[in-house]
């Protein structure tokens, strides 16, 4: 299921994932604009998603690169969820054949909640919305780190 349209770096379509044990937020973004949009949250069972759902999204959107948020402790050290996110990133590569990178995701959930609340109050703070908004922030922080603001 490899993407044959390899776009040059800086012009790639990138799919981002906010890994969680019950839900995985997914977003799609463009390096050229440095922006991303939420797609949907994929249900997971103990961190294992329905891979058919993931492959369907990859086939539909044809990203050139995949980015998985890496949940680190505030001091930069790793935690159990960090190892699980890395394992998910490895499996994602094996399932899709695409390059997978990781991105520090410290504070993305808090920032996502803040943004969602500001744009729609408590009704926006559903788990799927938070996971998807976190995936958007992971991608946008990846673009920012790679290409500056």
Which helix or strand (DSSP H or E) is residue 69 part of? Answer: strand 65-70
- Tokens representing 19 are 């890994």
Q: Which candidate, 55, 87, 53, 94, places its Cα nearest to that of 70?
A: 87
Give the tens place of pLDDT for each residue, 48-87.
999 999 999 999 999 999 999 998 777 888 888 899 999 9
Q: What is the model's pTM?
A: 0.80
List domains and CATH numbers for the chain: 13-147 (3.30.420.140)
Judge whether 84 and 62 are in contact, CB under 8 Å. no
Task: Tell me how far apart the alpha carbons of residues 144 and 138 are, in angstroms, rounded to a whole number.
Answer: 10
Of the candidate ranges 24-28, 84-88, 114-118, 131-135, the one whose mean pLDDT is the lowest: 114-118
Q: Indicate the pLDDT class of residue 128, thresholds 50, 70 and 90.
A: low
Q: Indicate the pLDDT class of residue 2, thresholds 50, 70 and 90.
A: very low
């Amino acid at each position: 299921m490899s993407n044959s349209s390899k776009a040059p770096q800086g012009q790639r379509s990138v799919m981002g994932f906010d890994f969680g044990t019950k839900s995985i937020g997914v977003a799609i973004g463009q390096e050229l604009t440095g922006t991303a949009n939420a797609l949907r949250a994929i249900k997971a069972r103990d961190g294992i998603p329905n891979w058919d759902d993931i492959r369907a999204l990859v086939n539909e959107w044809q990203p050139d690169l995949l980015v998985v948020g890496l949940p680190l402790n505030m001091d930069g050290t790793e935690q159990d969820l960090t190892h699980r996110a890395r394992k998910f990133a490895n499996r994602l590569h094996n399932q899709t054949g695409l390059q997978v990178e990781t991105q520090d995701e410290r504070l993305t959930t808090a920032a996502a909640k803040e943004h969602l609340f500001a744009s729609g109050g408590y009704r926006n703070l559903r788990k799927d919305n938070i996971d998807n908004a976190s995936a958007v922030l992971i991608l946008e922080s990846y673009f920012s780190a790679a290409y500056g603001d």
